[in-house]
Amino acid sequence: MSNTKLTHLDDAGAANMVDVSEKAATTRQATASGQIQMKQETLDLILSEKAKKGDVIATARIAGIMAAKRTHELIPLCHPLALSKISLDFETDRELPGLRITATAKLKGQTGVEMEALTAVSVACLTIYDMAKAVDKGMIISEIRLLEKSGGKSGHWQADKS
């Protein structure tokens, strides 16, 4: 690890929001992913767009976008950010069976957008669960992780392909 000091703790160990006022504004982007596993019948119902609560994927996309924009209200010490982009993609995986969700957040600013991308994926998965739980309470949300980030002092980072 190149930096072993936690940035949100001061010298006395108290939690603090990081002061980013002296950091350069750069284009920053982060991509995160996650998945939700379910019964095949549940996946078929979601894909048919005939779920009782409505279009599950469209609703989950909007929920993910809204969550990314409000990450600072959910995660202590996150900065409120003016995102220039947040997008969510949903991929059907019949072998799972379930859905794989990828979110990308972007801005030009003084701090990264990893938490926004991760929050978008998490809330999209939770929304899918909420909308389909009447037919499948055993759905499993998993594999939520950062795939890639760019910009800022630390530059580009990409997760192992494993």
| Residues assigned a catalytic role | 130
Give which of 158, 156, 155 is closest to 24, Cα–Cα: 155
The helix (H) or strand (E) run that includes residue 150 is strand 140-150
Residue 48: CB atoms within 10 A of its CB come to 9
| Cα three-residue angle 17-9-19, rounded to 5 degrees | 35
Alpha helices in the chain (DSSP H): 40-48, 56-69, 71-74, 114-132
Instruction: Give the chain's end-to-end CA distance (angstroms, integer).
Output: 20
Give which of 33, 149, 55 is closest to 99, Cα–Cα: 33
